Amino acid sequence: MPQLIDGKWVNDDVAANEMKNGVFHREPTKFRDWLTADGGPGPEGQRGVKAEPGRFQLFISRLCPWASRTFMMRNLKGLGQLMPVSIAAGAMTDNGWEYPEPQDTGEGSPAISYQHQLYTLSDPHYSGKVSVPALWDRKEGRIVNNESADIIRMLNTAFDGLTGNRLDFYPEPLRAEIDRWNALIYNTVNNGVYKAGFAKTQSAYDAAVTALFETLDKLEAHLGEHRYVAGEFMTEADIRLFVTLIRFDVAYVGAFKCNLRRIEDYPNLAAYARELYQWDGIAETVSITDIKAGYYSIAHVNPTRIVPKGPLIDFTRPHDRVRLSGKGVWRR
């Protein structure tokens, strides 16, 4: 996988750079400014940028779960008319994330065809991995933030005064519970599938797969008694979990050897994934074609790059998640 070194695009293996003793460690993101309603600083004193209609643009791929969760939050918060989205092709090329046609980036900035061009427009001497998503400032011609966890948190509130959409996916009373689940889901599920898929030793793979399925088992039991991860309301914890569940059977089971069980083998998790898929605006963020093409094109996990035809999963079929009257639990 290529990367930028001092602003120059080189065919170096970033994935290898993220391996330590056979274990995958994700490289930290580097652009961390914060969108706020008034341009004030972020929650940890980050440089603030004022949320304005039409000023910001999301650059994503529907292959990438981290990027897809920002697309989900944009849609759930009703930002379709305020924030355009540029969608890269599913499989990466020698040029990294590539767009099917040149993407406008705003007055004063050139159109781009590759994600790495956004990075060098923002920092001509940038070194490191080039990732999606990127939240682009069309006014200043730079990346504001390329950390998906930050972006979903910003989009949750920054534009509320402009849209009137007050859906809150990180409500104050549930934050401790959301944070607790987020930490577990990130480490063992979202990143856990990558730890398994990119492992270079049997012990690293065994540890990752064991932790992954222990958490899936825990979530299966939990979702038998709760509608959503943090309780009775959909929160960002559900957004974070969904993007891995929707990719699991079609990509991670095969390409990443996460094959102890499928999500379809978990009644509650499978029904829950279908329910979220059927929320308004969520199906648009999912492309099974891009997901399969992208993961099965990773040469070091699938040297032949043959993309399987299956499995065929109908995420539109009824989810049947209904409260059992008077018992406070859910069944499918």
For every residue of 6-68, DSSP letters joined together read: TTEEE---HHHHTEETTEE-PPPP--B-EEESSS---TTSPPEEE--TTTEEEEEESS-HHHH
Q: Does the pLDDT at position 45 exceed 60?
A: yes
CA distance 302 to 168: 40
Tell me whether residue 194 is one of the annotated catalytic residues: yes
Question: How far, in Å, CA of 133 to CA of 142, rounded?
Answer: 13
Spatial neighbors of 15 by CB under 8 A, at least 6 apart, are: 1, 24, 198, 300
Question: What is the C-alpha separation between 287 and 61, in angstroms, rounded?
Answer: 9
* C-beta separation of 230 from 174 below 8 A: yes
Query: Which position among 64, 114, 119, 126 bears the catalytic label?
Result: 64
Looking at this protein, which amino acid is placed at residue 139?
K
Averaged over 75-88, what is the pLDDT?
98
Instruction: Please give the average per-residue pLDDT across 136-157, as a whole number.
Output: 98
Q: For residue 6, give the amino acid letter.
A: D
Examine domains 3-163 and 172-331 and report if their fold is the same. no
Residues in the chain: 332
Mean pLDDT of the chain: 93
Q: Quick check: 226 pLDDT over 50?
A: yes
From 3-17, 139-153, 244-258, the region with the lowest mean pLDDT = 3-17
CATH of domain 172-331: 1.20.1050.10
Kindly tell me if the per-residue pLDDT of 329 is higher than 60. no
Q: Answer whether residue 17 shows pLDDT above 70.
A: no
Q: State the burial class of residue 278 (Cβ atoms within 10 Å of its Cβ: 0-12, 13-18, 19+).
A: middle
**163-198: per-residue pLDDT in tens?**
999 999 999 999 999 999 999 999 999 999 999 999
Res 19 pLDDT > 60: no
Contact 259, 253 (CB under 8 A): yes
Q: How much is the pLDDT for 313?
A: 97
320: left (phi over 0), alpha (psi -120 to 50) or beta: left
For 17, 99, 117, the CA distances from 102, given in Å and listed in that order, are: 30, 7, 11
Right CATH number for 3-163 from 3.20.20.70, 3.40.30.10, 1.10.1270.20, 1.10.3720.10? 3.40.30.10
What integer pLDDT is reported at residue 13 of this predicted model? Answer: 62
Q: Are 99 and 112 contacting, i.e. CB atoms less than 8 angstroms apart? A: yes
The DSSP bridge partners found for residue 112 are 103
How far is residue 263's CA from residue 141's CA, in Å, rounded to a whole number?
41
Question: How far are the Cα atoms of 9, 66, 87, 255 from residue 144, in angstroms, in the given order?
Answer: 21, 16, 18, 33
Crossing angle for the helix pair 148-155 and 236-247, to the nearest 10 degrees = 130
DSSP 5: E
Domain chopping of the chain, boundaries: 3-163, 172-331
Which pLDDT score, from 0 to 100, does residue 332 have?
47
Structure tokens at 229: 């991860």
Q: What pTM value is reported for the model?
A: 0.93
Task: Please say if the pLDDT value at position 23 is more than 90.
Answer: no
pLDDT value of position 2: 85
How far, in Å, CA of 228 to CA of 222, rounded? 9
Lowest mean pLDDT among 16-25, 180-189, 291-300: 16-25
Overall average pLDDT of the 113-117 stretch: 98
Quickly list H helices, 95-201: 115-122, 148-155, 160-163, 175-185, 192-197
Separation between Cα atoms, residue 137 and residue 265, nearest integer Å: 43
Among residues 99, 126, 194, 296, the one annotated as catalytic is 194
